[in-house]
Amino acid sequence: MTPIFNIKTKMNKFISLEQALGLVKDGMTIMVGGFLANGTPKRIIDALAASSVRNLTVITNDAGYPDRGVGQLIANRQVKKLYTSYIGSNPVAGELLNSKELEVEFCPQGTFVERIRCGGNGLGGFLTPTGLGTLAAEGKQIITVDGRDFVLETPLRADIAFIGASVGDEMGNLIYHGTSQNFNPLMATASDTVVVELGERVATGSLAPETIHTPGNFIDFIIS
């Protein structure tokens, strides 16, 4: 995958919702932050759900709900493959999985997070005993170390990550409040293009450096 734009050094990162939507093409792989919609960039996901984009591969913690968040994309049949930890809150996802209209790769939540971290840090994967002897290890390489078996879990990366932040400045330095932090910081490191939706916009220089969770150099675009 190659970056859509190489503008990380540009001062003005603000784009409209329509421009953000225009970044997404059929067949792309996208990451979406959030946990049952908490921390999810609601405006951009609502716009994607209203668009004609199809055949997406989506990397997100859960299938959400059919009427909000990422769950809308699933309910609209816009997603062809889903990497996730949980789909039980979205009955449509279960129906599509059973009818083979949706391919789902389940990842235990700790494994899911670590695969994204590996993708963001340029690692080739990691070894874990989690999932041994279960469907989670099916088709994956088993490596023995000091007499113990481990599953080789490969990195997860995306063309675009859509993340939500509680507070951000004009350079894209971000702060997440409470559980909205969830997967957003890691996803900001593991995608070729990163788009953030802010809850509150503040002036550059107003955030104490030690409070920043995601430095602005990871952020390509901010939805205005």
Residue 102 resides in a domain: yes
Kindly tell me the sign of the dihedral angle through the C-alpha atoms of 126, 129, 132, 135. Answer: negative
What does pTM read for this prediction? 0.92
Higher pLDDT among residues 185 and 38, named by residue: 185
Give a yes or no: residue 176 inside a domain.
yes
Q: What is the mean pLDDT of residues 145-157?
A: 98
Percent of the chain at pLDDT above 70? 95
Contacts of 73 (CB under 8 A, 6+ apart): 45, 48, 49, 56, 58, 79
Distance CA 102, CA 55 (A): 10
DSSP at 166: E
- Structural Rg of the chain based on CA atoms: 18
Please tell me the predicted confidence (pLDDT) of residue 223. 97
* The pLDDT of residue 8: 44
Q: What is the pLDDT of residues 175-224, one digit of tens each?
A: 999 998 999 999 999 999 999 999 999 999 999 999 999 999 999 999 98
Dist. CA 13–CA 5, nearest whole Å: 11
**pLDDT mean across residues, the chain:** 94
Structural domain containing residue 191: 14-122+156-223
Count of domains observed in the chain: 1
pLDDT confidence bin for 38, thresholds 50/70/90 = confident
**What CATH number does the domain containing 82 carry?**
3.40.1080.10
Question: According to the model, what pLDDT value does residue 173 have?
Answer: 98
Residue, of 151 and 136, whose pLDDT is higher: 151
Give the tens place of pLDDT for each residue, 63-114.
Answer: 999 999 999 999 999 999 999 999 999 999 999 999 999 999 999 999 999 9
Residue 140 pLDDT: 95
Mean pLDDT value of segment 23-37: 95
For residue 111, tell me if it sits in a domain. Answer: yes
4 part of a folded domain: no
Q: Is 159 left (phi over 0), alpha (psi -120 to 50) or beta?
A: alpha
Residue 11 pLDDT: 67
pLDDT at residue 50 tops 50: yes
How big, in percent rounded to 5, are the helix, strand and coil portions of the chain?
A: 25, 30, 45
Whether 10 has a pLDDT exceeding 80, the answer reads no
